[in-house]
Structure 1
Amino acid sequence: MRALLVVNPAATTTSARTRDVLAHALASDLKLEVATTEYRGHARDLARQAAQSGSAELVIALGGDGTVNEVVNGLLHEGPDPDRLPRLAVVPGGSTNVFARALGMPNHVVEATGALLDALESGSERTVGLGLAGGVPGTDDAEIPSRWFTFTAGLGFDAGVIGRVEQQRERGKRSTHSLYVRQVMRQFLTEPHRSKGTITLRRQGEEPIEELALSMVCNTAPWSYLGNKPLYAAPEASFDTGLDVLGLSRLTPAAVSRYGTQLLTSSPEKGPHGKHAVTLHDLTDFTLHSQVPLPFQMDGDHLGLRTSVNFTGVRRALRVIV
Structure 2
Amino acid sequence: MRALLVANPAATTTSARTRDVLIHALASEMKLDAVTTEYRGHAWDLGRQAAEGGEVDLVVALGGDGTVNEVVNGLLHEGPDPERLPRLAVVPGGSTNVFARALGLPNDAVESTGALLQALREGSERTVGLGLAAGTPGTADESVPARWFTFCAGFGFDAGVIGRVEQQRERGRKSTHALYLRQALRQFFDDEHRRNGTITLERPGEDPVADLAMSIVCNTSPWTFLGNRPVYALPGASFDDALDVLGLRRLSTVGVTRLATQLLTSSPERGPHGKQVVSARDLTAFTLHSKVPLPLQMDGDHLGLRTSVTFTGVRRALRVIV
Same fold by TM-score greater than 0.5: yes
Q: TM-score range by the shorter chain?
A: over 0.9
Q: Runs ≥4 in structure 1, deviation > 6 angstroms? A: none
Q: Residues of 2 paired with 1:236 and 1:249: CA distance?
A: 21
Q: Residues of 2 paired with 1:131 and 1:258: CA distance?
A: 28
Q: Residues of 1 paired with 2:177 and 2:171: CA distance?
A: 17
Q: Residues of 2 paired with 1:310 and 1:9: CA distance?
A: 33
Alignment of 1:236-315 (within 5 A): 236-315=236-315
Residue aligning to 2:47: 47
Gaps of 5+ in 1: none
Q: Secondary structure at the match of 1:315?
A: strand
Q: What CA RMSD, in Å, does the superposition of the two structures yield over aligned residues?
A: 0.5
Q: CA deviation at 1:220?
A: 0.1
Alignment of 1:195-206 (within 5 A): 195-206=195-206
The one-letter amino acid paired with 1:211 is D
Residue aligning to 2:70: 70
Q: Residues of 2 paired with 1:168 and 1:251: CA distance?
A: 24
Residue aligning to 1:219: 219
Alignment of 1:126-205 (within 5 A): 126-205=126-205
Q: Residues of 2 paired with 1:320 and 1:48: CA distance?
A: 17
Q: Residues of 2 paired with 1:255 and 1:120: CA distance?
A: 46
Give percent identity, aligned residues only: 75
Q: Return the TM-score normalized by structure 1.
A: 0.99
Q: CA deviation at 1:155?
A: 0.4
Q: Residues of 2 paired with 1:204 and 1:125: CA distance?
A: 33
Q: Residues of 1 paired with 2:14 and 2:168: CA distance?
A: 20
Q: CA deviation at 1:55?
A: 2.7
Gaps of 5+ in 2: none
Q: CA deviation at 1:11?
A: 1.3
Any conservation in 2 of the 1:8–1:14 contact (CA below 8 Å)? no
Q: Residues of 2 paired with 1:30 and 1:55: CA distance?
A: 13
Q: Residues of 2 paired with 1:225 and 1:35: CA distance?
A: 29
Q: CA deviation at 1:147?
A: 0.3
Q: Secondary structure at the match of 1:116?
A: helix
Residue aligning to 2:229: 229
Q: Residues of 1 paired with 2:183 and 2:104: CA distance?
A: 28
Question: Per-residue CA shift, 1:153-211, capped at 9, x if unaligned?
Answer: 01000000000000000000111111111111111111111111000000111000000
Q: Secondary structure at the match of 1:195?
A: coil
Residue aligning to 1:27: 27
Is 1:59 aligned to 2:65, yes or no?
Answer: no
Any conservation in 2 of the 1:6–1:34 contact (CA below 8 Å)? yes
Q: Secondary structure at the match of 1:206?
A: coil
Q: Residues of 2 paired with 1:285 and 1:172: CA distance?
A: 39
